[in-house]
């Protein structure tokens, strides 16, 4: 029998067997009362991990679709999208804004370098009603960007704060309401721990007011967030229900929603703070193990992600290492993005991969491959992982 591959790429990530089992239920009619109950329960569980009392829109899309939906739905006419970029997904957000015809100012930083808050403030002060787009967890570099100061900076210019939390939601603390975020995009297949195919956008009252009062129709129809309020949100929760009754604006992939609900139920059972702690300890342990193997994070100290590790190699070709892991150990990790494909490896520690079992398996396989490539390691990296894990 062929061994099952261990998928340690940063999404789609490992999924709990109980979530996979939920996929096997017969499909529901997406406009049925039974599925409406499932959908409402799912949205309530999403509100908890976002840290919001407001509305969370569920989209049959990817995380990229959620970012595009947020930008396309807001009143974009005459507005500038300011995107500080220090990795691939920040640059992608800027590209999405350009594709929608927005004026985009990209504040370029080197990959893996902290965002310069003073530069962001100076740029926002040049614009009226800007949209500030920030990637919370830059998956390409394994780096987290602090969100604490940005809401005040953009709100005093009567603007909106858009956050890409695609790879952080569920594995890293996000308090949507307390941070003053206006639009926060994420997806099912990363730290939330569900299969791919669904995305979400949390929407603040400020953002909803701008979406409702936009001066022109949105760019496109399918991803228009306002349709959620027009057709689905109950009247007592500020819905509009133009047809007179609740009706989902999209044909939802009902099995994926059922699986997502199960993943969110498991998060609630674990406890969100305990889940964040598990991801943090996994990241600390992985970095200790990689240090024993002679690798250092791309992210600077103190800014390392709790959900994905990106490590720079010296003297070893990343594609060769990855190929050996896949062929001889059935362990799959990701390479670096853009110009880092030959020198960087990326390993997920999100959802079910943020546990000692899969991480120790991965670390041992990497050590074996490095030994075959002539790299001698004096310290056992699995022991370094366990020491760091237990010390946290």
Annotated binding-site residues for substrate read 346
Which residues 6+ apart lie within 8 Å of 224 measured at CB? 69, 72, 73, 218
Query: Which is it for strands 296-297 and 308-312: parallel, antiparallel or unpaired?
Result: antiparallel
Can you give 58-82 as a three-state secondary structure string?
EECCCHHHHHHHHHHHCCCCCCEEE
Length of the chain measured in residues: 392
Compute the 3-state secondary structure of the chain and give helix, strand, coil in percent, each to the nearest 5: 45, 15, 40
Angle at which helix 356-372 crosses helix 381-391, to 10 degrees, equals 150
Binding residues: 346
CA distance 153 to 72: 22
The single-letter DSSP state of residue 353 is G
CA distances from 108 to 85, 88, 184 (A): 5, 11, 22
Residue 190 half-sphere exposure, CB side, CA atoms within 13 Å?
28
CA distance 9 to 115: 25
Which residues 6+ apart lie within 8 Å of 147 measured at CB? 134, 136, 163, 174, 179, 181
Which residues 6+ apart lie within 8 Å of 300 measured at CB? 112, 113, 114, 143
Query: DSSP of 99-166, one letter per residue?
Result: HTT-EEEEEE--TTPPP-HHHHHHHHTTSSS-EEEEESEETTTTEEPP-TTHHHHHHTTT-EEEEE-T
CA distance 248 to 228: 7
For residues 82 and 133, the answer to whether their CB atoms sit within 8 Å is: yes
CA distance 79 to 325: 47
Bridge partners of residue 81, in order along the sequence? 104, 131
């Amino acid at each position: 029998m062929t061994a099952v591959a261990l998928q340690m790429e940063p999404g789609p990530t490992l999924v709990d067997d109980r979530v996979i089992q939920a996929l096997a239920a017969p499909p529901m009619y997406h406009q049925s009362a039974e599925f409406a109950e499932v959908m409402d329960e799912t949205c309530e569980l999403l509100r908890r991990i976002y840290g919001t009392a407001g509305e969370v829109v569920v989209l049959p899309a990817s995380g990229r679709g959620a970012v595009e939906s947020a930008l396309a739905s807001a009143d974009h006419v005459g507005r500038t999208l300011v995107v500080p970029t220090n990795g691939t997904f920040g640059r992608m957000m800027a590209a999405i804004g350009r594709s929608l015809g927005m004026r985009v100012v990209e504040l370029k930083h080197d990959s893996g370098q902290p965002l310069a808050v003073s530069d962001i403030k100076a740029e926002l002060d040049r614009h009226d009603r800007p949209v500030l787009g920030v990637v919370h967890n830059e998956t390409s570099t394994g780096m987290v960007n602090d969100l604490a100061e940005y809401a005040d900076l953009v709100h005093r210019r009567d603007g909106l704060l858009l956050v890409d939390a695609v790879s952080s939601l569920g594995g890293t603390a996000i308090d949507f309401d307390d941070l003053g975020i206006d639009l926060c995009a994420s997806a099912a297949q990363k730290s939330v721990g569900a299969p791919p195919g669904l995305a979400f956008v949390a929407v603040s009252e400020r953002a909803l007011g701008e979406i409702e009062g936009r001066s022109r129709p949105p760019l496109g129809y399918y991803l228009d967030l306002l349709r959620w309020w027009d057709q689905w949100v109950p009247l007592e929760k500020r819905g509009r229900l133009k047809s007179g009754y609740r009706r989902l604006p999209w044909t939802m992939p009902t099995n994926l929603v059922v699986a997502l609900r199960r993943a969110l139920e498991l998060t609630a059972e674990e406890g969100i703070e305990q889940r964040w702690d598990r991801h943090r300890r996994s990241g600390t342990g992985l970095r200790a193990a990689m240090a024993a193997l002679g690798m250092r994070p791309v992210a600077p100290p103190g800014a390392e992600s709790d959900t994905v590790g990106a490590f720079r190699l010296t003297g070893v070709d990343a594609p060769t290492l990855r190929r050996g892991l896949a062929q001889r150990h059935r362990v799959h990790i990701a390479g670096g993005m853009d110009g880092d494909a030959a020198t960087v490896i990326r390993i997920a520690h999100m959802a079910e991969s943020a546990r000692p079992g899969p991480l120790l398996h991965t670390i041992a396989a990497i050590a074996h491959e490095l030994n075959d490539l002539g790299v001698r390691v004096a310290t056992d990296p699995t022991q370094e992982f366990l020491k760091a894990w237990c010390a946290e």
